[in-house]
Structure 1
Amino acid sequence: MYLRNIAISADDKYRECSILGKSVPVDLVKAGRPRKRKENASRPVQKNLNYRNAQKWFRLSAVANFNEGDYTGEFTFAPENRPGSIEDCEKEIANFIKRINRARKKKDLPKMKYMGVIEGKNTDKLHFHLLLDNLLNRDEIDDLWTKGRGKNKKSIGFTNIEKIKTQYGIDGVIVKANYLTKEFKLENQKGKRKWFASRNLKKPVVERAQNWKYTDSKIARLLESEQLESQLEKDNPGWELIEFPRKNPETQKDELVKLDIRENEYLGTLIYYRMRRRR
């Protein structure tokens, strides 16, 4: 029986792929069934029970829209400025983004690209993180996390704005996206909002499904001969497999792998892998 090879790409520089049976639903695709042509990935509903879809969408969107040299920022609230609820925190963030976009408009710059998450188990600890472009410098952004004017201008809270950079050989955008989505599972259980993002982002793209390259028997032979990794790179010229973290299903310990292979009694062999353009 043939297997489908599905790739969801981020700006043609990074992709996450799955080899699975034709009856297995595909992540980030409407109704779980990919079409014969390219299509934009569907953003998961905030309260989607599959929090991993939310993590995947956030990660792919981050890679599609941000690069090393763009910024990651943490923004907190001083005790006297603490929001009383998630909704109040969202209003503060919206006003902050409006101030940034007004400052950009004065410089003839487009509206800011951003993605972010709100964190904090209670109102005393509410804060938020952003991925944002670098068209304003860090001092300019920090100066806008304030309220009031002139002598009455005061900081709303602490800021920590850094340039995104490679960490331990892993793309810095992926590292930050993984960090920012670490609480998605817990928040999903509570039905809370997970993320927010600007509307001017590029969307991840679901590539045309490949329904002819792999069969159950071919995958079995490649696994037995330990040639699956080299075959995947051969079948994707210009791309290379990269390591990614997963939890070992047997030991439950974190590990880095290039292939995540699972056997399912009903769905058969499921293979997940990530690739990037060769440098």
Structure 2
Amino acid sequence: MAKRKKTIIAGSIVKTIIYTAPEPLDGKRARAEKSRMTTAAQKAMNDKAARGRLEMLMAANFTGRDLFITTTYRDDDLPPNRAEAVKRIRGFIKALREHRKARGQELKYIYTTEEKHGEARLHHHLVINSTGADIEVIRSLWPYGDVVDMEYVGQRDYETLALYLTKESVTGRPVGAQMWTASRNLKKPVVRSEYVPNDTMLAVPIGCHIIEKEERVTEFGSYCYIKYRLPTHQSGGIFHRPNSEIQGGADALLLACN
């Protein structure tokens, strides 16, 4: 008998889960209980939910010193509709990309367009990689109003940021509208699924910080889910991964999870 194990590595964030899955020779009751275990495991992992995907996408591509930005419109420049607002933010992204390309710099981004909370005015939230000299450039390329907020990504955890960016996803997003838009050059989280011996236990590597942990055990099986942060250096309250860890690659990190 074996268990299923799934591990997702996204930058400094790791989600891993191990659970008992149904087998061909299981009786009706055992199969039902194991199926419930599988469902609970998938829910805990949350990698298929939009917010969970966004959290891990950001963790895989942005460090604590990248930027979270909010752009707004002055009254005279307020777009007449969402489509026009999206056109303007795309124009801003294009201008910023061209500015960086001329300097040999890459642009990575995720953005959302909102209009259903607060004063119900159209505005945008963006997460972009920082080059260290962005503030004045960003302000100069957004001619429609204020850049009302600009902070380091590291001032919030990825889950909180993903929750904030998708807060209009259920009731405020027009039918057919994307929940968020991301640049094509973003890296995908590393995912590995495998069968492991039934007596395999999950353990967090030394030096890691546990963010979430959930366990369930019945007479027919069990699941254990752990979400944790890999060791980081801390500088000025902003977390970022050390270069040696990045260069080590995903395989080394996966070995640490086993």
TM-score norm. by structure 1 comes to 0.64
Query: Counterpart of 1:39?
Result: none
Query: Counterpart of 1:276?
Result: 229
The answer to whether the 8 Å contact 1:77/1:157 transfers is yes
The answer to whether the 8 Å contact 1:55/1:184 transfers is no
Query: Counterpart of 1:260?
Result: 214
Q: What are structure 2's unaligned runs of at least 5 residues?
A: 23-37, 233-258
User: Which one of the candidate residues 189, 202, 224 is aligned to 1:232?
Assistant: 202
User: Which one of the candidate residues 108, 117, 122 is aligned to 1:113?
Assistant: 108
Query: Counterpart of 1:198?
Result: 183
Query: Counterpart of 2:121?
Result: 125
Query: Counterpart of 1:255?
Result: none
Q: Deviations over 1:217-269 (max 9, x none)?
A: xxxxxxxxxxxxxx532xx53563522xxxxxxxxxxxxxx3234689xx964
Query: Counterpart of 1:7?
Result: 7
Query: Counterpart of 1:19?
Result: 18
- Kindly tell me: are residues 173 and 125 of structure 1, through their superposed partners in 2, closer, same or farther at Cα, counting changes over 3 Å? same
Report the CA distance between 1:214 and its aligned residue.
Answer: 4.4
Q: What are structure 1's unaligned runs of at least 5 residues?
A: 28-49, 147-154, 216-230, 244-257
Query: Counterpart of 2:254?
Result: none
* Greater displacement, 137-146 / 118-127: 118-127
The answer to whether the 8 Å contact 1:68/1:173 transfers is no
* Greater displacement, 200-209 / 119-128: 119-128
Query: Counterpart of 1:59?
Result: 55
> Residues 70-81 of structure 1: matches in 2 within 5 Å?
70-81=66-77
The answer to whether the 8 Å contact 2:113/2:125 transfers is yes
| Partner AA of 2:205 in structure 1 | P
Query: Counterpart of 2:130?
Result: 134
Report the CA distance between 1:114 and its aligned residue.
Answer: 0.5
- Kindly tell me: are residues 194 and 187 of structure 1, through their superposed partners in 2, closer, same or farther at Cα, counting changes over 3 Å? farther
- Kindly tell me: are residues 22 and 186 of structure 1, through their superposed partners in 2, closer, same or farther at Cα, counting changes over 3 Å? farther
User: Which one of the candidate residues 181, 198, 203 is aligned to 2:166?
Assistant: 181
Query: Counterpart of 1:165?
Result: 154
| Partner AA of 2:202 in structure 1 | L
The answer to whether the 8 Å contact 2:202/2:224 transfers is no
> Residues 241-260 of structure 1: matches in 2 within 5 Å?
241-243=209-211, 258-260=212-214
% identical aligned pairs: 28
- Kindly tell me: are residues 272 and 87 of structure 1, through their superposed partners in 2, closer, same or farther at Cα, counting changes over 3 Å? farther
- Kindly tell me: are residues 10 and 126 of structure 1, through their superposed partners in 2, closer, same or farther at Cα, counting changes over 3 Å? same
Report the CA distance between 1:166 and its aligned residue.
Answer: 4.2
- Distance in 1 separating the partners of 2:115 and 2:4: 40
TM-score norm. by structure 2 comes to 0.68
The count of corresponding residues between Structure 1 and Structure 2 is 212
User: Does the alignment pair 1:207 with 2:192?
Assistant: yes
The answer to whether the 8 Å contact 2:68/2:125 transfers is yes
Q: Deviations over 1:19-51 (max 9, x none)?
A: 334354786xxxxxxxxxxxxxxxxxxxxxx99
- Distance in 2 separating the partners of 1:182 and 1:232: 33
SS in 1 for 2:49: helix
Aligned-residue CA RMSD (Å): 3.4
